[in-house]
Structure 1
Amino acid sequence: MKFKQTLTAGLMAAALATLGAAHAQTVRIGNQGDALSMDPHSLNESLQLSVTGNVYEPLVTRDKDLKLVPALATSWKQVSPTVWRFELRKGVKFHDGKPFTADDVLFSLARGAGDGSDMRSYTNDIKEARKVGDFTVEIETKAPFPILPDQLSFFYIMSKQWCEENQATRPVDRRKGIENAASFRANGTGPFRLRERQPNVKTSFVRNGSYWGKIEGNVVNVEYTPIGNDSTRVAALLSGQVDVIEPVPVQDVARINASGKSKVLQGPELRWIFLGMDQKRDELLYSSVKGKNPFKDKRVRQAFYQAIDIVGIQKTVMRGAATPAALLVGPGVNGYDPTMDKRLPYDTAAAKKLLADAGYPNGFEVGMNCPNDRYVNDGNICQAVAANLARIGVKVNLQVETKGTYFPKVLKRDTSFYLLGWSPSTYDSHNVLNALIRCVDDKGSGQFNLGAYCNPQVDALTLKIQSETDKPKRDAMIKEAFKLHADDIGHLPLHQQALAWGVGSNVQLTQRADNQMPFRYMSTK
């Protein structure tokens, strides 16, 4: 173990030394974490999708202003209530020179819906995809689905032939530790090509000289280096070893802005941080309570909710860079209703009484899983939650770890209590209802509902919301669904986190509220 730690430190030092020698028209990015794979269907996580989204492309995408615009599809229309037709872009080639056609779209949709895929919540309501011509596909949904194009804006297309030639027809399965060629290599149609992949050390990209579209920025090379330590990441920016860091530790914002060499770009992020609980097993995997599951009792869930001092976390852990939330959506997401965004009061006495009424007057022990390199101050948030819960007699056995081991564990539902963040890729409440709240099935519904919360009324509303085109009716159903979920204490919402990117004075880029970082918009002076 000591040898491995020394080796990792040496590789990091070598990577930073290489960054320091980078030449013009190169942007060097330091992020607290790494993309866990180059396979675009292996992990539905925004950092993963941000990195791989420079190499791979969807049928439709988002521009700088988050407007839906053509990508590999030039147009799309609903030809019947359940059928969408996509006209594909001609003349596009994958990075290996093979042409892009309808076969690649059908293959990718099937791959993303298959075993091991983490993108099944994007495809779970698709009944069939069929080829109409070499550059036309139709996607039939199980029910009317007016926001299908939005749903597909982060679903990336792979080359059927390349996957077959490289034994990568199935996605990399992070839960089982299964890797294949798509883990370390990439062959997309995007504006940048993967040049070199060293997991957890450095990943290099180069501009695609034969890209079909316009690349607005002048950057030719991008060097992406994970730098998990906050102080090291900030020092790398201030010393000029890297040009961009994400995220900026909240305590270092003022120092970076005062440096004269770099600045911090800040803004609200469409990401909500929340806690989930195993509500399915008859006995928790990691708890002192035997023979039953305390989280099946709403009183216990509510006790946990009211024991959390969210204002204290906002002030001391997040230093103001968060907005306390009562829902899993907020401003900027279709269907958000501010009248519902009111938290239950922080009340330790009430929480203790709820626990006692549920039969746990002295509390109990429970394991908690948390990443320390994925969200802003994620490890510190979990420590604060554990301290809050200790006040009501709950002893939290906290396991804080890198997302490289955290995600495979919780995605297997090998957890009793966990922290997660979510940014709805469609900017619509249906995404949250479908992926986080809907009852879990084997097709992708509730794929990130890791605690298996289930309310059939919410599910019925989710299906109606999916097909409803009348906005007032749809918004009313969204409100009803979220109220049912809130009344159930289905999850424990915490806050909406803020974006904070550190950017050197030599770099211009676009910061989007979804925390995606397209290289195509980057320029160096």
Structure 2
Amino acid sequence: MIDLLRVCAAAGALTAATSLPAVAADFRFAGPLDAYTLDPHAVSNTLVFAVLRNVYEPLVQRGPDLTLQPVLATEWSQVDDLTWEFKLREGVSYSDGSAFNADDVVFSFERAKKGGMSSHLADIASIEKVDDLTIRLISDEPNPVLPNQIVNWFMVDGDWARDNGAVEPGQADNSTEGYANRNTLGTGPYIISGRDPGVRTDFSANADWWGERQGNVETASFFVISNPSTRVSALITGEVQMIDGVPPQDTARIEQTAGLRIAATPDLRTVYLQPDVLRDALLHGGGTDGNPFKDKRVREAMSLAIDTQAIQQRVMRGYSTPVGLPIAREVAGSTDELSAPAVTDVERARALMEEAGYADGFQVTLDCTNDRFMNDEATCLAIGSFLSQINIDITPRTQATARWAQQINPPGYNTSLAMLSYSPYTYDAHQFLTGIAVTRDEDGGRGAFNIGGYSNPEIDRLTTEIGAETDPEKRSALLEETLTILKEDHAFIPVHQLQILWGLQEGVDVVQLADLAYPLAWFTVPE
């Protein structure tokens, strides 16, 4: 097991030098994987956001009650059909004392547009500086939900980036080694005071933060413990006070241990398969000519062959919900009918494979993570077993998230079949459609994380129409129409919606957000 006490001692030496108040509390927590970059504009990645939201800040964010709340913007309004105006907070500085102003927002917009965050800003055509504390975001079409789309767009000091050669964001696949990958400068409640990538990240309170922490965490150490059993043991022995990614099979053990408890809440994250439907031949597979995934009957057969109820019961121990869409039930656009999972029917699946000319099946590699979310590797193996019933011979390739992401993410999209997960932080299906379901547009940023290369002109048209529709009823109808087409195309094969499972020491009071964030400023721990 990792010697956390030794690592904690090193972190303690760091914090001791800052002369913290006597009431300061230190927090030690662990999760299965690290944020593989510290660049806030390199990639749209849940864990990267979870770590960086303590250091960098957006204009607006979701509060504990999930409503939008002001952060670096104090107010915002739609001044006309195409323009949103944001008033910036006065007197905000970065942790090195540099002043935050509208120039940084303009710089952060231009920088983020060039990186993996481009899909978040794809509906915004341009930015305008009105004065030092006012900016406007301008769209080509009306966008009634624009503030919801920018909660993870973090602000970067333009001078800092220019001085350190970090004007361009890192690549989403982490193939570039830039200054911002390993260094941070934000306006948030904490600074990163120490970091050993893949091992630990230390946080210290930003003494000059403009806001007021709701909790009492002054210093924190986040440890990466990929092995689930080791992670649970670290909680039980008191080496850490909280763990993320509790294996469902260990929840009873934690609850039966004096002084420990489980905190669970629905996760917006859904797990789904996406086959490569763009290439004319399997990149990682064989046993057939061409690309079987181009045939909708093959994709439907896969959906019918995977027993998601069995995965829920046997693999997830009840801590998941089978779904019929690649978005969670709580997301705007989902309906009871659309969310209903496919009913397993292996005989029908075999008939579809025969109709498509693949009765004898084919071989393909399924790219999965083994440390990204709860029981991901076990789910991957179970899917392979179910697909073998229709003669799809799966070779699971399970990897650490950092390597997996470098392989499958843009610009390479180096996969034939991937198990993915997604959490639309806007709580709106339009975000999924814009970033993942529409045809890839390298210049505009739409569809940047459409890993399988799915393209349907009708989906593209409807997604644009949804983005511009201001009437709530009409917008809901358009979302339902679009998701119906997407479901019938079977280009995304849903598995389940996850739950967030944290193991906690008694006395540790946390806020669990559906986007998996670790908002340290809202945590209270024993002093």
Question: Which TM-score tier does this pair reach, normalised by the shorter chain?
Answer: over 0.9
C-alpha contact 2:11 2:194 (8 A) present in aligned 1: no
SS of corresponding position for 2:231: helix
Residue 15 (1) aligns with residue 7 (2): yes
- Post-superposition Cα deviations, 1:106-157, rounded to whole Å, max 9, x if no partner, equal 000110011xx11110111211111110111111112111111111111101
Residues 65-144 of structure 1 correspond to what in structure 2 (within 5 A)? 65-114=65-114, 117-144=115-142
- Taking the aligned partners of 1:367 and 1:97, their CA distance within structure 2 comes to 50
Q: Which residue of 1 aligns with 2:327?
A: 329
SS of corresponding position for 2:285: coil
When the two chains are superposed, the root-mean-square deviation of aligned CA atoms in Å is 1.6
- Taking the aligned partners of 1:218 and 1:175, their CA distance within structure 2 comes to 36
The residue type equivalent to 1:122 in the other structure is H
Give how far 1:387 is off: 0.7
- Taking the aligned partners of 2:282 and 2:112, their CA distance within structure 1 comes to 31
- Post-superposition Cα deviations, 1:365-403, rounded to whole Å, max 9, x if no partner, equal 001100011011001000000011111111111100100
- Taking the aligned partners of 1:223 and 1:150, their CA distance within structure 2 comes to 30
C-alpha contact 1:326 1:493 (8 A) present in aligned 2: yes
SS of corresponding position for 2:485: helix
Residue 51 (1) aligns with residue 44 (2): no
Q: Which residue of 1 aligns with 2:196?
A: 198
C-alpha contact 2:308 2:495 (8 A) present in aligned 1: yes
- Taking the aligned partners of 2:99 and 2:5, their CA distance within structure 1 comes to 40
Q: Which residue of 2 aligns with 1:179?
A: 177
Q: Which residue of 2 aligns with 1:261?
A: 259
Residues 268-287 of structure 1 correspond to what in structure 2 (within 5 A)? 268-287=266-285
- Taking the aligned partners of 2:87 and 2:197, their CA distance within structure 1 comes to 36
Give how far 1:15 is off: 2.8
Q: Which residue of 2 aligns with 1:3?
A: none
SS of corresponding position for 1:119: helix
Moved more, 329-338 or 429-438: 329-338
Give how far 1:291 is off: 4.1
- Post-superposition Cα deviations, 1:249-279, rounded to whole Å, max 9, x if no partner, equal 1011111111112111011111111000000
The residue type equivalent to 1:127 in the other structure is A
Give how far 1:456 is off: 0.9
- Taking the aligned partners of 1:332 and 1:392, their CA distance within structure 2 comes to 33
Moved more, 48-57 or 356-365: 356-365
Give how far 1:343 is off: 2.6
Residue 339 (1) aligns with residue 331 (2): no
Structure 1's 104 and 42: CA in aligned 2 closer, same or farther, altered over 3 A?
same
Residue 317 (1) aligns with residue 315 (2): yes
C-alpha contact 2:288 2:362 (8 A) present in aligned 1: no
Moved more, 35-44 or 273-282: 35-44
- Post-superposition Cα deviations, 1:416-456, rounded to whole Å, max 9, x if no partner, equal 00011111011111111111211111121112210011111
Give how far 1:337 is off: 1.2
Identity over the aligned pairs, expressed in percent?
37
Give how far 1:202 is off: 0.9
C-alpha contact 2:32 2:226 (8 A) present in aligned 1: yes
C-alpha contact 1:25 1:220 (8 A) present in aligned 2: yes
The residue type equivalent to 1:415 in the other structure is T
Moved more, 26-35 or 170-179: 170-179
- Taking the aligned partners of 1:175 and 1:428, their CA distance within structure 2 comes to 26
- Taking the aligned partners of 1:325 and 1:130, their CA distance within structure 2 comes to 41
Give how far 1:16 is off: 6.1
C-alpha contact 1:19 1:28 (8 A) present in aligned 2: no
C-alpha contact 1:282 1:291 (8 A) present in aligned 2: no
- Post-superposition Cα deviations, 1:195-232, rounded to whole Å, max 9, x if no partner, equal 01110111100011111011111111010110000000
Give how far 1:14 is off: 4.1
- Taking the aligned partners of 1:478 and 1:245, their CA distance within structure 2 comes to 37
Structure 1's 368 and 17: CA in aligned 2 closer, same or farther, altered over 3 A?
farther
Residue 382 (1) aligns with residue 380 (2): yes
Q: Which residue of 2 aligns with 1:434?
A: 434
Q: Which residue of 1 aligns with 2:520?
A: 519
- Post-superposition Cα deviations, 1:66-85, rounded to whole Å, max 9, x if no partner, equal 11011101111111111111
Q: Which residue of 1 aligns with 2:20?
A: none
TM-score (norm 1): 0.95
C-alpha contact 1:15 1:201 (8 A) present in aligned 2: no
- Taking the aligned partners of 2:239 and 2:177, their CA distance within structure 1 comes to 32
The equivalent position to 2:163 in structure 1, one of 159, 162, 165, is 165
C-alpha contact 1:58 1:154 (8 A) present in aligned 2: yes
SS of corresponding position for 1:398: strand
Residues 356-505 of structure 1 correspond to what in structure 2 (within 5 A)? 356-411=354-409, 412-442=412-442, 443-505=444-506
SS of corresponding position for 2:381: helix
The residue type equivalent to 1:428 in the other structure is D
Residue correspondences, number: 515
Moved more, 293-302 or 18-27: 18-27
- Taking the aligned partners of 1:12 and 1:361, their CA distance within structure 2 comes to 53
- Post-superposition Cα deviations, 1:269-301, rounded to whole Å, max 9, x if no partner, equal 111110000000011101114541110000110
Moved more, 338-347 or 54-63: 338-347
SS of corresponding position for 1:389: helix
Give how far 1:513 is off: 2.1
Give how far 1:351 is off: 1.2
Residue 247 (1) aligns with residue 245 (2): yes
TM-score (norm 2): 0.95
C-alpha contact 1:20 1:240 (8 A) present in aligned 2: no
C-alpha contact 1:435 1:446 (8 A) present in aligned 2: yes
- Taking the aligned partners of 2:50 and 2:197, their CA distance within structure 1 comes to 16
SS of corresponding position for 2:498: strand
The residue type equivalent to 1:268 in the other structure is P
Structure 2 portions without partners, runs of 5+: 17-23
SS of corresponding position for 1:77: strand
C-alpha contact 1:59 1:156 (8 A) present in aligned 2: yes
SS of corresponding position for 2:142: coil
SS of corresponding position for 2:317: coil
Give how far 1:179 is off: 1.2
Q: Which residue of 1 aligns with 2:19?
A: none
- Taking the aligned partners of 1:70 and 1:97, their CA distance within structure 2 comes to 21
- Post-superposition Cα deviations, 1:355-374, rounded to whole Å, max 9, x if no partner, equal 11111111110011000110
Give how far 1:330 is off: 3.0
The residue type equivalent to 1:397 in the other structure is T
SS of corresponding position for 1:126: coil
- Taking the aligned partners of 2:446 and 2:275, their CA distance within structure 1 comes to 18
C-alpha contact 1:58 1:72 (8 A) present in aligned 2: yes
Residue 61 (1) aligns with residue 53 (2): no
Structure 1's 17 and 317: CA in aligned 2 closer, same or farther, altered over 3 A?
farther
C-alpha contact 1:185 1:197 (8 A) present in aligned 2: no
- Taking the aligned partners of 1:18 and 1:358, their CA distance within structure 2 comes to 60
The residue type equivalent to 2:408 in the other structure is V
SS of corresponding position for 2:125: strand
- Taking the aligned partners of 1:486 and 1:380, their CA distance within structure 2 comes to 25
SS of corresponding position for 2:407: helix
Residue 146 (1) aligns with residue 147 (2): no
